[in-house]
């Protein structure tokens, strides 16, 4: 077995922080997406740099491109973050340039998850919109711009 001269392995455990993701999702829905939201379209446009309808189209597009943005369960059997929560974290980081750990208090998203959301979101956007928006401009388009 083990000899006494071998050092024992040190096992590092990650600490678990309970985040009430479900309540955060309900708050997000009440604030922006319900029929009578707390913050109307003007607040949404200012905070996300886009209209609500465009945001929802983008959420649908990234869900089609990456299964990470589908609802799933974590290792403990709890529901994961919703696609709206994941996309909100990514878009707010892009829109106003805040760090990922900013979203822990409101959306209950850890900084490592926020960084992962941003990376996966950017890859999904590129795959979804590459053909239409990330192509070289046509001659007529360049002439119109000039």
- 23-37, 55-69, 128-142, range with the lowest pLDDT: 128-142
Predicted TM-score (pTM) of this structure:
0.77
Cα distance from N-terminal residue to C-terminal residue, the chain: 77
Which residue in this structure is represented by tokens 């979804």? 128
In whole angstroms, give the CA distance from residue 54 to residue 28: 17
Per-residue pLDDT band for 2 (boundaries 50, 70, 90) equals low
pLDDT in tens, 121-134: 999 999 999 988 87
Given a cut of 70, whether residue 5 has pLDDT beyond it is no
- Mean pLDDT (the chain) is 87
Tell me what pLDDT residue 108 has: 83
């Amino acid at each position: 077995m083990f000899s006494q001269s071998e050092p024992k392995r040190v096992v590092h455990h990650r600490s678990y922080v309970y985040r009430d993701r479900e309540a955060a999702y309900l708050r997000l829905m009440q604030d922006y997406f319900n029929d009578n939201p707390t913050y109307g379209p003007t607040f949404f446009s200012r905070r996300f740099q886009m209209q609500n309808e465009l945001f929802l189209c983008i959420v649908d597009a990234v869900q089609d491109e990456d299964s990470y943005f589908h609802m799933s369960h974590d290792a403990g059997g709890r529901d994961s973050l919703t696609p709206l929560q994941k996309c909100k974290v990514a878009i707010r980081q892009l829109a106003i340039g805040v760090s990922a750990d900013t979203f822990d208090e409101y959306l209950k998203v850890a900084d490592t998850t926020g960084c992962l959301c941003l990376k996966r979101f950017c890859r999904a956007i590129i795959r979804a919109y590459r053909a239409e928006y990330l192509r070289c401009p046509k001659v007529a388009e360049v002439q119109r711009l000039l």
